[in-house]
Structure 1
Amino acid sequence: MKTSLSASARPQLKSGIIVLPYGENTYIGFSDHGIEFEGLHVRPIVAALTGNQTCQEIHESLGYDLDLLTSLVVELDSLHFLDTTKSSITLQDRFHSPSAHRQSHIVDNSHDATFQQIQTRIRPELTLTTWLPNVDDGGVSHINARQDCDVRIYGSSRIASILYGILLSSGVSNTRLTTQTHSPLISELDLCAGIFRPSDIGASFEDRACTLGKELSLFPINPPSPRNAIAINVGAPDPELLQEWMSECTPHLFIEDPECASLILGPFVVPGTTPCWRCTVLTKDDEYIAWKQVQWERRISPHSETPVSVAHYVAGLAALEILRFIDTQHSDLLGSTLRVNYLAANETERRRFSFHPACGCHW
């Protein structure tokens, strides 16, 4: 629990916090978590928590005892109800000119229509990142950091295309969609209220996705060189890619092809830290005599597409886990899988895996 606050901090209530006065008391929080303060002095103090004043400045403006005011603010901060610092949205330089007047646009975004649009689109994303542990700047720095992540999606299914659009719209602007087959074309099955339209049928899957990605991306495409890479495999994994990800220590997430009325999401693999794909394969092979043969039959059988509702559901789950990993370096799918049952989506079956002694990925 925090017991102090920096003198330079400019506290502001986080997005979504409700201030409810009744009688001489004031409730601050949300539906199932909050705190109640006694005294009429609380309301003007809380009203002054706009992010524009320090506690000292609020004290001088309202005249309330500084220790009383500070203790109230510290208590709210200990509940993670406050943002106390400010960060700015950062974009790569989009103006290159020898003219000093034009160069001023690099630091002055007041008349930049694109920047204003980004500010509007970013607000819903901040309602997630502001509540991450230890975030005190409204979550802006985490949204900025998403631009530094290089995400490559391997697959040409509904889930792959929907996930591609979600990540771009969430600020992961260096997301690319790569198909595992040679120059596939968009077909009727790819139309699922995702990013493709009927007029796209017959166009190159990768080329059209790249073009539409520029429209969907929260930030301008082609940010500065990314420092972090993540791979997402949708469908049967390519052994060469698996070896590449493991040797380069690239975190990677698996989304399997559908099987009857279910689909497996995960595991999320961090090479050398969590069980790998081969660990899960060896474990299942030990448990089920026919498992290996069943998987072989699945690979040579015609691919079945995912129902539209399931595709959106699974892509949403996968996107949340990927964003969580980018933001916090953690995911509930690390070393785990989720089996999504089409007929009972709320009854997902979670399974955890351990390192398999015959694998060697952790030696």
Structure 2
Amino acid sequence: MRPLEGRSARGPSSRRRSGRSTVSTHQRAHEAGGIREVRRPRLKAALRRVARDPRTLQFGLHPQRASVLHDLEPPVLRVIEGLDGTRELRQVVADAAKEGLAEEQARTLIGMLAQRGVLDDAAFPPPLTSLSLAERDRLQADLDALSLHPETTDGGAAVMERRRAAHVRVYGAGRVGAQIAVLLAASGVGNLCVGDTAIARPRDVVPGGLGWSAVGAPRHDGAVASARAVAPGINAWTSAFASHPADRAHRPDLAILAPVEPLDQILVADLAEAGIPHLLVSAFEGLGVIGPLVQPGLTACLRCLDLARRDRDPAWPTVSARLGGYPAGEVACDTVTATIVAATAAGQALSWIDEKKSIVTNGTLDVLQIWGWRRRSWSVHPQCRCSRNQLH
């Protein structure tokens, strides 16, 4: 077998036209440096493999995910295809020697595959063992997606466990909030409280949110029932204390504000006072806004946004006061907009729980009528009291 050498995906051999990243298996040994050793290497089950020709193997299908390995000699192909997680790395290396690969070549090959993000480590224990087989099967698609992160080798287990341990509160269970609650439950969030004592109306019924059976009862009852229907193992409950984030329950890791009526400023103040991260979500007049995600004492808060609007429009305080609060609630909140906003908000909430960077920290996402997104940046306002509590 020839020594491992060649060019990375950013070199001249890249297939820029197709959008796929390409790499020769003859990578330099130093490219494997810095990769956490995989104890029992296994090809990621969620990453489709396609043989483009007898010596070329493609991992992944999406242009932003796919990686193509060229010039694979038959022994190297056999070593790759044999990575099923049943053997320790030392045994893989020993078996590779039978195919003619020296130890350094075999370890460099495994390191290169790990660097390209196509390996899992089967030594990690299986996730979600406390759930029923049916619920584990339902969450498998989410685990598969989590496993595809190039630096993840545990099959997404660590991130899913964070979701299972997370406590999230959703304030407002209308067309948007109820869908957010259900999406979070379906995505593996383990502890969910919903607060909205208003009576559900037929106009609150949307796919993925409140159903017809919820009409006539408190909205939060219907939202919790919908969450339990899709995730029977969830710890979900309702809260009648909409303006009190601490009602003897576990302190939430994140609160989501999805007001059906004008935003409750007392609730906002309580969350800020308690230092609870909170995400504002609204959909009205056929448009939607996700964010900001406020980290009290660290990022721009909702009062900062109010003051910035006042700076641009001196009449803004009067407008907001006459509305009874801003956002004003779900006004002309059509079904498709509500669904897009709810899904985007749930995605941002999961990014926070998963400890990924959220694009709505010090920012908001506008959902536009042309079915596009626009991000706005916001800064801590110098006249806001929160600026006095900035952590340095």
> Taking structure 1 as the reference length, what is the TM-score of the superposition?
0.84
- Report what 1:123 is aligned to: 140
- Report what 2:41 is aligned to: 11
- 1-side partners of 2:309 and 2:202: how far apart? 35
- Report what 2:334 is aligned to: 307
- 2-side partners of 1:158 and 1:251: how far apart? 23
Give the CA deviation at 1:184: 1.7
Please list, as runs of the form range in 1=range in 2, the aligned pairs for 1:34-53 lying within 5 A after superposition.
34-38=67-71, 39-53=73-87
- Report what 1:101 is aligned to: none
- 2-side partners of 1:52 and 1:127: how far apart? 19
Corresponding residue pairs, total = 335
- 1:311 partner amino acid: A
Task: Pick closer, same or farther for the CA change 1:279–1:74 going to 2, 3 Å.
Answer: same
Give the CA deviation at 1:207: 2.4
Instruction: Please give the secondary structure, in 1, of the residue aligned with 2:235.
Output: coil
Task: Pick closer, same or farther for the CA change 1:67–1:226 going to 2, 3 Å.
Answer: farther
Equivalent residue in structure 2 for 1:194, among 208, 214, 225? 208
Whether the 8 Å CA contact 1:12–1:82 is kept in 2: the answer is: yes
Pair 1:233 & 2:257 matched:
yes
Instruction: Please give the secondary structure, in 1, of the residue aligned with 2:387.
Output: coil
Task: Pick closer, same or farther for the CA change 1:141–1:226 going to 2, 3 Å.
Answer: farther
* Structure 2 unpaired stretches of 5+: 1-30, 238-248
Bigger shift: residues 199-208 or 39-48: 199-208
Task: Pick closer, same or farther for the CA change 1:174–1:91 going to 2, 3 Å.
Answer: farther
Equivalent residue in structure 2 for 1:216, among 230, 248, 269? 230
Give the CA deviation at 1:244: 1.9
- Report what 1:99 is aligned to: none
Task: Pick closer, same or farther for the CA change 1:155–1:42 going to 2, 3 Å.
Answer: same
Give the CA deviation at 1:218: 6.2
Whether the 8 Å CA contact 2:283–2:329 is kept in 1: the answer is: no
Give the CA deviation at 1:295: 2.4
Equivalent residue in structure 1 for 2:380, among 346, 355, 362? 355
Equivalent residue in structure 2 for 1:70, among 91, 95, 107? 107
Whether the 8 Å CA contact 1:21–1:27 is kept in 2: the answer is: yes
Whether the 8 Å CA contact 1:147–1:226 is kept in 2: the answer is: no
- 2:119 partner amino acid: L
* Structure 1 unpaired stretches of 5+: 93-113
Equivalent residue in structure 1 for 2:276, among 241, 250, 263? 250
Task: Pick closer, same or farther for the CA change 1:338–1:195 going to 2, 3 Å.
Answer: closer
Task: Pick closer, same or farther for the CA change 1:6–1:272 going to 2, 3 Å.
Answer: closer
- Report what 2:153 is aligned to: 136
Equivalent residue in structure 2 for 1:204, among 218, 235, 258? 218
Instruction: Please give the secondary structure, in 1, of the residue aligned with 2:183.
Output: helix
- Report what 2:165 is aligned to: 148
Instruction: Please give the secondary structure, in 1, of the residue aligned with 2:271.
Output: helix
Pair 1:88 & 2:88 matched:
no
Give the CA deviation at 1:227: 7.2
- 1-side partners of 2:56 and 2:283: how far apart? 56
Give the CA deviation at 1:3: 1.7
Instruction: Please give the secondary structure, in 2, of the residue aligned with 1:361.
Output: helix
Instruction: Please give the secondary structure, in 1, of the residue aligned with 2:143.
Output: helix
Give the CA deviation at 1:329: 4.4
Give the CA deviation at 1:292: 2.3
Whether the 8 Å CA contact 1:55–1:69 is kept in 2: the answer is: no
Task: Pick closer, same or farther for the CA change 1:290–1:121 going to 2, 3 Å.
Answer: same
Whether the 8 Å CA contact 2:176–2:283 is kept in 1: the answer is: no
Equivalent residue in structure 1 for 2:90, among 51, 56, 59? 56
Give the CA deviation at 1:303: 5.3
Give the CA deviation at 1:242: 1.8
Whether the 8 Å CA contact 1:11–1:49 is kept in 2: the answer is: yes
- 1-side partners of 2:115 and 2:256: how far apart? 37
- Per-residue CA deviation, residues 185-235 of structure 1 (Å, 9 max, x unaligned), is 221111111233323321222223333332222644269x96751001112
- 2:281 partner amino acid: I
Whether the 8 Å CA contact 2:171–2:195 is kept in 1: the answer is: yes
Q: Percent identity?
A: 23
Whether the 8 Å CA contact 1:230–1:252 is kept in 2: the answer is: yes
> Taking structure 2 as the reference length, what is the TM-score of the superposition?
0.78
- 2-side partners of 1:294 and 1:263: how far apart? 19
Task: Pick closer, same or farther for the CA change 1:88–1:252 going to 2, 3 Å.
Answer: same
